[in-house]
Amino acid sequence: IIMIRLAKKFPKINFIIKCKLGQKIPRNLENQFKKIKNINLIKHGLGNDLIEKSQIILGLNSAATIEALLAKKLLMVPFFGIKGKIVKDYLYKYPKENIFLNYSKFEKTLNNNLNKGFIIKKNFNTNQKKTINKYLGDYINAKKNLRNFFL
């Protein structure tokens, strides 16, 4: 319920919650979201436009999270409550600086970033670049590689 608490604390900031296709939201939670004017719950459709419009992306095991890194957005991945074997076997391998294993640290970091206001895009570091390459391929040389593929 971090989003509800922070949306109330920062009424001038829009919070967009984009669900994965087929994801069920408990009715009581959906009703709470509807009561808060600066929370917009989106249940279907693509999220790529939302990434470009956003400054902070929260997500887990979605192509959108890797796209957020590529777009140089602040990515925060909540891993709290997830058992170690699941992380190792099934989840994307995110850079450590983007992973939050602790609920209170996640909320504190998100709160601090919201307090800053506008977040300046930063170049991705080596770990983030490795993650992007692992899941999206060599995006820098993609055009050249594609041309060589067809020759």
Residue 112 is predicted with a pLDDT of 93
Q: Are 110 and 2 in contact (CB under 8 A)?
A: yes
Looking at residue 91, its pLDDT comes to 79
Confidence at residue 88, expressed as pLDDT on a 0 to 100 scale: 63
pLDDT at res. 6:
94
Q: State the pLDDT at residue 147.
A: 60
**Count of residues in the chain:** 151
Low-confidence spans in the chain with pLDDT less than 50: none
Output the pLDDT for position 83. Answer: 66
What does the pLDDT look like over 30-65, one tens digit per residue? 999 999 999 999 988 888 889 988 999 999 888 889
What confidence score (pLDDT) does residue 86 get? 61
The per-residue pLDDT for 33 is 93
Q: What is the DSSP string of 7-56?
A: HHH-TTS-EEEEPPTT----HHHHHHHHHSTTEEEE-SS--HHHHHH-SE
pTM > 0.85: no
Distance (Å, whole) CA 65 – CA 111:
20
